Amino acid sequence: MNVGQTIENLIRRPLAVLKWEANKLGKKHKCYICGRTFHAFYPYRSDSDSASPFWEELNMIGMAIDDWGCFFCNSSDRERHLFMFFDKLNLWQEFTQAHVLHFAPERNLYPRIRQMKTAQYVMGDLYPSSDEISRIDVTDIQFPDDSFDFVICNHVLEHVPNDGKGMREIFRVLREGGKAILQTPYSSILGKTFEDANINTDELRIRFYGETTHVRLYGLDLFERLEESGFQLNVVKNDELYSRNECDYYSVEYEEDLILVSKPGVGFHES
Ligand SMILES: [Zn+2]
């Protein structure tokens, strides 16, 4: 390390500490999960300024990148929003004595669900990050038909190449009357889902899909495709539950509704 770098580090470190302390003193935002208040959440990517104008212009829902993560509990906007939906709709109690399948379980959400004394709680991921999580491919779920009362699949389908098979698999393992949460980013002005095999590099996927691991950009036909998979749509409008000010305060997307679906059947009752 040369003298210039040493001096730069001597300045940069105290500045970073000062910035962090100032952020903690702020009251502009509150994390809905851990309850801490501060000036700003951290952005999804440090280079969020370079976000693709392509998908920004398509009025993407579920793709907020600014004010994204909580410095204290690391919750993301999509995780905080589920807490808010679950509180407002009293969905927590539906997990009690229920068989629950949770894909890509969020770190703050799964301990809370566990507290609800489920009958069975299966956490799954194609690439499990711990021994508690089973290796489950959403397009080939290793459980019999009608196994679960509730499936949580929050921001997963946009990563799955054969998403139609994934939708049908979730439908298959749900019992009649069972519910699933299938949040995914989508464009609110694009009619048709956009997907092209030639968009096959990280750079192109970020430009057109918003993320290197996304394989498509859903349009409004997402909802028709869910219905074609057999689901009944029970989408819950966010603006009927939370005001724009509340959403800004907790930094969740005002336009993002809860994509709640159910498997109709004899035992089905609308809630
Ligand atoms: Zn937090």
253 C-alpha vs ligand 1 centroid, how far in Å?
Answer: 16
Phi and psi angles of residue 177, each rounded to the nearest 5 degrees, phi first? 85, -10
SS3 call for 89:
helix
CATH number of the domain encompassing residue 240? 3.40.50.150
Mean pLDDT lowest for which of 18-22, 29-33, 100-104, 210-214?
18-22
Residue 20 lies in a domain: no
Residue 222 lies in a domain: yes
207 C-alpha vs ligand 1 centroid, how far in Å?
Answer: 30
Residue 158 lies in a domain: yes
183-198: pLDDT as tens digits:
999 999 999 999 999 9
Whether the CB-CB separation of 213 and 43 falls below 8 Å is answered with no
Q: How confident is the model at residue 268 (pLDDT cuts 50, 70, 90)?
A: very low
Burial of 232 (0-12, 13-18, 19+ CB in 10 A): middle
Q: How confident is the model at residue 28 (pLDDT cuts 50, 70, 90)?
A: very high
pLDDT score of 7 more than 90: no
**In the structure encoding, which two tokens stand for residue 39, read together?**
């000036």
Residue 9 lies in a domain: no
CA atoms of 230 and 225, how far apart (whole Å): 9
Domain carrying residue 128: 37-262
Give, as residue ranges, everything with CB less than 5 Å from ion ligand 1: 31, 33-34, 70, 72-73, 75
Residue 231 lies in a domain: yes
CA atoms of 198 and 246, how far apart (whole Å): 41
Domain count, the chain: 1
> 96: which residues sit within 8 A by CB, 6+ positions away?
116, 117, 118
27 C-alpha vs ligand 1 centroid, how far in Å?
Answer: 13
Residue 64 lies in a domain: yes
164 vs 1, residue with greater confidence: 164
**In the structure encoding, which two tokens stand for residue 119, read together?**
């009958």
The pLDDT score that the predictor gives to residue 266 is: 62
250 C-alpha vs ligand 1 centroid, how far in Å?
Answer: 10
Q: Which helix (H) or strand (E) holds 116?
A: none
Please state, rounded to an integer, the average pLDDT across all residues of the chain.
91
The pTM (predicted TM-score) of the whole model is 0.89
Residue 19 lies in a domain: no
Residue 24 lies in a domain: no
